[in-house]
A and B are shown apart, each in its own frame.
Chain A
Amino acid sequence: MKFDTVIIGGGLSGLTCGIRLMEQGRKCAIVSSGQSAIHFFSGSFDLLSRVNGQEVTNPLESIHSLPSEHPYQRVGQANIARLAEEAPQLLDRAGMVFAGTAKRNHFVLTPMGTMKPTWLTLDDFTSFAKNDKLPLSRATIVNLQGFLDFHTLFIKDGLTRYGVEVQVRNVAMAQFEAIRRNPSEMRSSNIAKVFDQGDALDQFAEKVNKLGKESDVIILPAVFGLFNTTVPAALKARINKPVVLLPAVPPSTPGIRCQIQLRQRFQELGGTHFLGDMVREGKFKGNRLRYVNTNNHGDIQLEADHFILASGSFYSKGIKAGPYGLFEPIFGLDVDGENEREKWFDKQVFNNQPYMHYGVRTDARFRPMINGQPVENLYAAGSVLAGSNPLKEGSGAGICLLTSLHVAEQILQDQDDEERYI
Chain B
Amino acid sequence: MNTSKDYDVIIIGGGATGAGTARDCAMRGLSVLLVERHDLATGATGRNHGLLHSGARYAVTDHESASECIQENMILRRIASHCVEENDGLFITLPDDDIAFQSLFIDSCQKAGINAQAIDPDYARLIEPSVNPELIGAVKVPDGSVDPFRLALSNVLDAKIHNADLLTHHEVTGIIRKGDRVTGVELYDHQTRAKVSYHGKIVVNAAGIWGQHLAGLAGVTVNMFPAKGSLLIFGHRVNTMILNRCRKPANADILVPGDTICLIGTTSERIPYDEIDNMYVSTEDVDVLIREGMKLAPSLATTRVLRAYAGVRPLVAADDDPNGRNISRGIVLLDHQERDGLSGFITITGGKLMTYRLMAEWATDLVCRKLAVEKQCETADNPLPGSEKNDFSVKSATRKIYSGSRVVQMSAQDRHGTLASNIASSDMMDDAMVCECEGVSIGEVNYAIKELHVANLIDLRRRTRVGMGTCQGELCACRAAGLLGEALEETVQAKDDLANFLQERWKGMYPIAWGETLIESQFTSWIYEGIYGLKPENN
B525 touches A247 (CB 8 A): no
Q: Which of B436, B495, B530, B532 contacts A391 (CB 8 A)?
A: B530
Q: Tell me the chain B residues, 501-539 only, with Cβ under 8 Å from chain A.
A: 502-503, 505-507, 510, 513-515, 518-519, 521-523, 525-527, 529-536, 538
Among all A-B residue pairs, the 5 with the closest Cβ atoms: A110-B533, A349-B506, A183-B433, A157-B491, A321-B514
Please name the residue on chain A nearest to B518 by beta carbon. A321
Contacting chain B: which of A15-23, A263-271, A338-346?
A338-346
Q: Is B298 an interface residue (CB 8 A)?
A: no
Report chain A residues within 8 Å CB of B11.
none
Contact of A145 (CB < 8 Å), options: B429, B431, B518, B531: B429
CB-contacts of A142-180 with B (<8 A): 145-146, 148-149, 151-154, 156-158, 160, 177, 180
Write the B298-327 contact mask toward A (1 if CB under 8 angstroms, else 0).
000000000000000000000000000000
CB of A91 within 8 A of chain B?
no
Q: Are B519 and A315 in contact (CB under 8 A)?
A: yes
- How near does chain B come to A48, taking the closest CB pair, in angstroms? 14
**Which B residues are CB-close (under 8 A) to A154?**
481-482, 485, 491, 494-495, 532
Across-interface contacts of B421 in A (CB, < 8 A) = none
Contacts of B518 in A (CB 8 A): 314, 321, 344, 355
Contacts of A344 in B (CB 8 A): 513-514, 518
Contact status of A183 and B495, CB under 8 A, knowing A315-B523, A350-B529:
no
A116 at the interface (CB under 8 A from B): yes
**12 sample A-B contacts, Cβ–Cβ < 8 Å, listed by A number:** A114-B533, A146-B432, A153-B485, A156-B491, A157-B491, A180-B428, A180-B432, A183-B405, A322-B515, A323-B515, A344-B513, A348-B506
Is there a chain B Cβ closer than 8 Å to A387's Cβ?
no
B475 interface residue per 8 A CB criterion: yes
Name 5 extra pairs, CB < 8 A, besides A152-B482, A355-B522: A111-B532, A148-B434, A183-B404, A350-B536, A356-B522
The count of residues in chain B whose C-beta lies closer than 8 Å to any C-beta of chain A is 55
Q: Are A349 and B522 in contact (CB under 8 A)?
A: no
Q: Is the CB of A372 closer than 8 A to any CB of chain B?
A: no
**A355→B505 CA distance, assembly (Å):** 17
* B260 contacts chain A at the CB level, 8 A cutoff: no
Choose among A313, A341, A344 the residue with the greatest number of B CB atoms under 10 Å from its CB.
A341
Q: Tell me the smallest distance from the CB of A320 to a CB of chain B, in Å.
A: 8
Are B522 and A313 in contact (CB-based, < 8 A)? yes
Q: Do residues B533 and A111 form an inter-chain contact, with CB atoms below 8 A? A: yes
In the bound complex, do residue B432 and residue A40 qualify as a contact, i.e. CB atoms below 8 Å apart? Answer: no
Tell yes or no: A121 within 8 A of B by CB. Answer: no
Answer whether residue B408 sits at the interface, using C-beta atoms and an 8 A cutoff: yes
Residue interface mask A95-119, B partner, CB < 8 A = 1: 0000000000000001110101000
The answer to whether the Cβ of A285 comes within 8 Å of any Cβ in the partner chain is: no
- Closest residue on chain B to residue A343 by CB atoms: B283
Interface: B499 (CB within 8 A) = yes
A250 to B479, CA, bound (A): 12
Is residue A385 within 8 Å, beta carbon to beta carbon, of the partner chain?
no
In the complex, whether A258 has a CB less than 8 A from a CB of chain B is: no
B207 at the interface (CB under 8 A from A): no
